[in-house]
Structure 1
Amino acid sequence: MKKQWYRTGVAVLGGTLLLGSLTACVPLVLGGGAVTTAMVATDRRTSGMIVEDERIEQKAAAKIREILPEGSRASVTSFNRTAMITGEVRTAAQKEALERAVASVENVRRVVNEVQVVPFVSSLSQRSKDAFITSKVKASFLDAKDLQANTIKVVTEQNVVYLMGIVTPRESKRAAEIARGVNGVSKVVRVFETISEDDLANYKAREEALEKQGTAAPAVQAAEPVVEITPVK
């Protein structure tokens, strides 16, 4: 899941004692049963990989808390050990520092840094709009009869929709088409790992078999994530 942190100065908080404090959404805890059996069954990652992605997000949270500057915010979403960073900071140096911090997390194999350098972070109303767009995109995926919605993670930042998952080329194109058709979306960024239709049938079973054997390399290698941008015309 996506986790988000803010570091806010006293001027924004009206002089309260929360100077330099961090707030974060409460993560879904796999051990607590928040992730259902149905969700695991439809996710193309193995249960072990789902747990690993959660650990990556938690470890990234700790590192980001140490360096996140005031007046900035950042989120990390991990899928199949690809960690995507989104958010807003004041300088390019701060953006690079976030990338180095996340890249240093154990078992992260790739970092996609989509943090924006801006003079001011987006408003609460914009973030609420982003959350609404995310919900609409997810609902649209569920309505689609030719797409497995639970295989795709959706993150929205400033009207830009980011998609992560293990998909076929057809699913990648279809997901982008659906997302770009949602009202309020300015563009769609795909951070997908692609796999052929033939390999898809046995992909998860092979991954689970290797996981039981303690083998790290996948039997069927999905293509490395490629960032593809689809503008909304």
Structure 2
Amino acid sequence: MTHLAHELPLPRAALLGAAALALAAAIGLAGCAPAVIAVGVGAGAMVAADPRSAGAQVDDEAIELSLQANEAVQKENVHLNVTSYNGLVLLTGEVPTAAVRDEVERIAKAANRVRSVQNELFVGPISDYSARTNDGYITSLVKTRFLDEPKFAPNRVKVVTERGVVYLMGLVTRDEGAAAAQVAATTSGVTRVVKVFEYTN
């Protein structure tokens, strides 16, 4: 793994503490929460049915926090979303140039406990509030439809939407991944589905 001369601004202990608090809050709130492209790689949970270990969940939170807070990626005209699942990092959002896109990827690959990076950053203007609201709505639609799908457990699949494109992450079998992708692809407003799964078979 190539390491850059970029220092993460927060110590790991602080990041893990923040991540643990975030996970604890998520657990406490859980009771009141209401064409396909494959690019994936080929597991005591803190959240019910989450196939990741407790340590992996904390690490994922720490990865997301550290990269979002890294001053090296906080450039003008950059809208960056970082999603980590079992050490596989998905980068989405918008950047002004291909050079910035590549630099963000290099920084992500150099971060502690990152196993792989899927760079889906779009080179172009930053999305507006309306577009981001619509993406959130699409995510909620996909998650709601997952609840009626008997072929996989909904909480084993993480859904990220950016510019109408749905990215699916998680530790699943190939059949489960295919079923989730089919549901997402037939959801209103979805323009494309990208599978960023880690397969268990």
TM-score when normalising by structure 1: 0.68
> Of the candidates 77, 86, 91, which is equivalent to residue 83 of structure 2?
77
Structure 2 counterpart of 1:129, which letter? Answer: N
1:31 paired with 2:52, answer: no
Query: For the Cα contact (< 8 Å) 2:19–2:58, is it kept in 1?
Result: no
**Which has more radius of gyration?**
1
Q: Which runs of 5+ in 2 are unaligned?
A: 1-17, 31-45
Q: Which has the higher contact order (CA 8 A, sep 6+)?
A: 2
Query: For the Cα contact (< 8 Å) 1:29–1:35, is it kept in 2?
Result: no
The residue number in structure 1 matching 2:41 is none
Q: Which shows bigger deviation, 97-106 or 160-169? A: 97-106
> Of the candidates 135, 141, 163, which is equivalent to residue 140 of structure 2?
135
TM-score when normalising by structure 2: 0.78
Deviation at 1:68, TM superposition (A): 2.6
The residue number in structure 1 matching 2:62 is 55
> Of the candidates 70, 88, 111, which is equivalent to residue 117 of structure 2?
111
Deviation at 1:181, TM superposition (A): 0.9
Identity of aligned residues (%): 43
Q: Which runs of 5+ in 1 are unaligned?
A: 1-27, 197-233
The residue number in structure 2 matching 1:159 is 164
Structure 2 counterpart of 1:62, which letter? Answer: A
C-alpha separation between the residues in 2 aligned to 1:150 and 1:95?
30
C-alpha separation between the residues in 2 aligned to 1:67 and 1:106?
16
C-alpha separation between the residues in 2 aligned to 1:30 and 1:107?
16
Structure 2 counterpart of 1:30, which letter? Answer: A
1:97 paired with 2:103, answer: yes
Deviation at 1:116, TM superposition (A): 0.6
* Misfit runs of 4+, over 6 Å: none
C-alpha separation between the residues in 2 aligned to 1:83 and 1:56?
8
Deviation at 1:29, TM superposition (A): 4.6
C-alpha separation between the residues in 2 aligned to 1:91 and 1:189?
22
Query: For the Cα contact (< 8 Å) 2:156–2:170, is it kept in 1?
Result: yes
